[in-house]
């Protein structure tokens, strides 16, 4: 089944692009806006509307495979590609990318996705990660349709995996509305919550006291309003490096002391801390996460450390996994480019015995989320991120419903491997 055309449309994401450097430097919010001038190149404001590109690949039998190009909320930060603006990149997809794909057989997701991952633009540079991300989604959908398979089953066929027969744990994210949104998560019985968005020392507290108070409140809230008997979620908090800012990124003892107290406050719920420090480079971040993980393990502190910043590519994931830099790695799907890299990153973490959290960003779309769910189900990721947006309900619905559709179709014998 040959590819006959590639069509693009400009779209919006479920959130915004935020200038992380400006926010970390103390930019103050004003409602949903931020006051001040942007710092990261490409930004016209500290917060601006997120953009996406829908890529639609047509097959000779008239079927269409589609995916969405999207970039993370904090584009241009932590070693990532620059701001992704649709009008800048649509011509590149409709020309260079289309020229490469049209006329090819839609016979292998992995082969075609790998080719897109290594395709160069007119200046000899790799395509923006968002382009590789969205085009590979469309490729997966097109190849799956050409073979009469669900997307997850196409992945399982090519990688020799077994698709999960049950829903995977969904991790919900709150944004700054961390109290009301936590209530939504609890009501819906979210398995992992709440994210928290502790992305400045002002939010975390000069000595971490605000985060401590929030965990105390959240723990009691779960106990007071369980959605069903036996509800026992994991508390997962994203700290954006602020614990390292407070205690010192290489002060493993000081950070561990704080985490030990935080663990006590979170009891009886298991605690995960994402991004405890931000050490300004891949190597230093790996070193400091490994050092803190060793200190936490040595003292038997029951807190899982989750790698995020500076762990952006498949190569970074391999580096962090090999060095056990944390207990779990967020595989931030848009940052890895082509989604075959996400598949391989999850499988590598599982092979190394480190938690594979298939994440992403609030700044994605419904479509990129659906395709990611197929990747996660095909690889049995340990947890997945509810995305896009930070309103809880919509993102949780998209993830949960897509998993339920996969399970129902496969139970009916539709779209499974022959």
Only one residue has tokens 């994605």, namely 364
Pairing of strands 64-69, 47-59: antiparallel
- Asked whether the beta carbons of 334 and 127 are under 8 A apart, the reply is no
Q: Which of 162, 332, 352, 387 is catalytic?
A: 332
**380, 164 in Cβ contact below 8 A?**
yes
Nearest to 71 by CA among 336, 262, 321, 291: 336
| 1: three-class secondary structure by DSSP | coil
CB-count burial class (<10 Å; 0-12, 13-18, 19+) for 284: middle
Among residues 291, 341, 279, which one has the least CA distance to residue 312? Answer: 341
Contact 364, 358 (CB under 8 A): no
Name 27's Cβ contacts closer than 8 Å, sequence gap at least 6.
19, 34, 35, 36, 46
Element (H, E) at 255: helix 252-266
Q: Where are the alpha helices (DSSP H) in 147-179?
A: 151-159
Taking the C-alpha atoms of residue 136 and residue 117, their distance in angstroms, rounded to an integer, is 8
How would DSSP label each residue in 384-402? EE--SSSSSHHHHHHHHHH
Active site residue 145: no
Cα 1 from Cα 106, distance rounded (Å): 6
Rg (CA), the chain: 21
Phi, psi of 82 (to 5 degrees): -70, 180
379 conformational bin, left if phi > 0, alpha if psi -120 to 50, beta if neither? alpha
Q: Determine the straight-line distance between the first and last CA of the chain, rounded to whole angstroms.
A: 18
Phi then psi dihedrals of residue 329, to 5 deg:
-120, 130
Nearest by Cα to 240 from 293, 169, 175: 175
Token pair belonging to 13:
């994401």
CA angle 102, 344, 272 (to 5 degrees): 130
> Would you name the residues annotated as active-site residues?
332
């Amino acid at each position: 089944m040959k590819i006959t055309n590639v069509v693009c449309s400009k779209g919006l994401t479920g959130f915004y692009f935020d200038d992380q450097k400006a926010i970390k430097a103390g930019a103050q919010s004003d409602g949903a806006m931020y006051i001040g001038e942007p710092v990261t190149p490409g930004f016209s404001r500290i917060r601006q509307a997120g953009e996406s590109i829908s890529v639609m690949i047509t097959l000779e039998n008239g079927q269409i495979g589609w995916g969405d190009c999207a970039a993370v909320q904090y584009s241009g930060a932590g070693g990532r590609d620059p701001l992704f603006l649709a009008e800048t990149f649509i011509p590149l997809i409709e020309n260079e990318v289309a020229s490469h794909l049209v006329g090819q057989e839609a016979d292998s997701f992995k082969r075609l996705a790998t080719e897109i991952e290594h395709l160069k633009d007119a200046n000899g540079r790799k395509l923006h990660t968002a382009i590789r991300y969205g085009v590979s989604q469309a490729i997966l959908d097109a190849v799956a349709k050409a073979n009469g398979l669900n997307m997850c089953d196409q992945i399982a066929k090519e990688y020799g995996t077994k698709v999960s027969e049950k829903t995977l744990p969904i991790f919900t994210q709150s944004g700054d509305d961390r109290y009301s949104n936590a209530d939504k998560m609890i009501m819906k019985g979210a398995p992992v919550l709440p994210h928290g968005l502790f992305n400045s020392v002002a939010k975390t507290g000069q000595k971490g006291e605000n985060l401590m108070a929030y965990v105390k409140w959240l723990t009691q809230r779960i106990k007071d309003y369980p959605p069903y008997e036996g509800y026992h979620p994991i508390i997962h908090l994203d700290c954006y490096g602020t614990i390292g800012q407070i205690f010192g990124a290489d002060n493993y003892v000081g950070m561990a002391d704080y985490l030990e107290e935080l663990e006590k406050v979170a009891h009886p719920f298991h605690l995960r801390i994402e991004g405890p420090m931000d050490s300004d480079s891949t190597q230093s971040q790996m070193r400091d996460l490994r050092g803190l993980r060793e200190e936490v393990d040595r003292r038997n502190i029951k807190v899982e450390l989750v790698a995020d910043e500076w762990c952006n590519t498949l190569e970074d994931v391999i580096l962090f996994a090999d060095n056990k830099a944390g207990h779990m790695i967020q595989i931030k799907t848009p940052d890895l480019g082509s989604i075959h890299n996400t598949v391989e990153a999850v499988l590598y973490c599982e092979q190394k015995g480190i938690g594979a959290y298939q994440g992403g960003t609030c700044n994605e779309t419904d479509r990129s989320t659906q395709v990611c769910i197929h990747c996660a189900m095909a690889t049995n990721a340990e947890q997945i991120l509810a995305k896009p947006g930070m309103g809880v309900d919509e993102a949780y619905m998209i993830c949960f419903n897509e998993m339920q559709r996969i399970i129902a179709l496969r139970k009916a014998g539709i779209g499974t491997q022959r």
